[in-house]
Amino acid sequence: MDKQKPITVVSLFSGCGGMDLGFAGGFEFLGHKYKKNDFNIIWANEINAAACNTYRKNIGAHIIYGDIRETIGALPEIADVVIGGFPCQDISINGKMEGINGKRSGLYMFLVEAVKKIQPKMFIAENVKGLLLKTNAASLKKILEDFNSLGYTVTYKLYHAADYGVPQTRERVFIVGTREDITPFAPPPTSCQQYITVKEAIGDLETIPPDEQFSHIWSYANKSAEQGNRKLIADRPGYTIRAECHGNIQFHYSLPRRISMREAARIQSFPDTFLFQSKLRETERQIGNAVPPVLAWHIANAAQNAIMSCNNATK
């Protein structure tokens, strides 16, 4: 029997590697093993140097540090899949609501350019729920039109991370495009009949003393009028972990402090073996910006099934 060739992946706006870890697979979270996938990430790009350091430590040395406007020319000529969570600041309800006309969210055009250049079998783009708001209808329409114009069948769906074993009430949109010769993408079925509570996810860390190497460190910011001042509820999934909390990340459900960065990473479904190479504020940003690896793993499995079924059909 022929050994399956790896499915090559190009990753844009990679951050610290949450989405890429999900595509690679081969990790454990809360006692559940997420098998290694057939994806091989051959090129990645991120503008944040600290996030690149974390990515290299945990994912691989293939990530290129720099602005996508300058690194786009270094894209590989060939890859099977293009992935990326393009910046959402101008689309988020907590942002300026400028849509794709904003300076950051308009960068989705580089995902379009990558797809146009590489002509992958499939592309997967991730963004915030706000993309589906009526105020962003024109932006969503333009994004879909731009990808459709490249000859791809494009679909989008809102996913609730808690439905897939992530202990967090995080909702994100995934836009998937498949080439005409590829089996259409079928969204992964939900995998979690009962949501994982925040106590189940981080309860064992309550008695652990601060540990900077393990990122079990927390902000001592007092309660303020700014975002992120809610207290977690022990028997529910955690609130959405945000990138720009300015130290005002959620409070622990029982301890007199804010949650630690390791606790935030757990709520985002990062395995404990994933080590962040930065101080508290930057780690907070990396965790909040990331795609939950467990959710990404389920998306990756569905993508792999579509590509593999097409490969098998052509043998």
Q: Which residues are catalytic?
A: 88
Secondary structure (DSSP) of the chain: -PPPPPEEEEEES-TTSHHHHHHH--EEETTEEE---SEEEEEEEES-HHHHHHHHHHT-TTEEES-HHHHGGG--S--SEEEEE---TTTSTTTT--GGGSTTGGGHHHHHHHHHHH--SEEEEEEEGGGGSGGGHHHHHHHHHHHHTTT-EEEEEEEEGGGGT-SB--EEEEEEEE-TTSPPP-PPPP--SSPPPHHHHHGGGTTPPPBTTTTB----PPP-SSS--PBP-TTSPBPPP-S--TT-PPBPSSSSSBPPHHHHHHHTT--TT----S-HHHHHHHHHHSPPHHHHHHHHHHHHHHHHHHHHHT-
CA dist 164 and 156 (Å) reads: 17
Cα separation, 80 vs 83, in Å, equals 10
Say how far apart CA 135 and CA 236 lie, in whole Å. Answer: 31
Who's near 1: CB < 8 A, 6+ residues apart?
A: none
Q: What is the chain's alpha carbon radius of gyration, rounded to the nearest angstrom?
A: 19
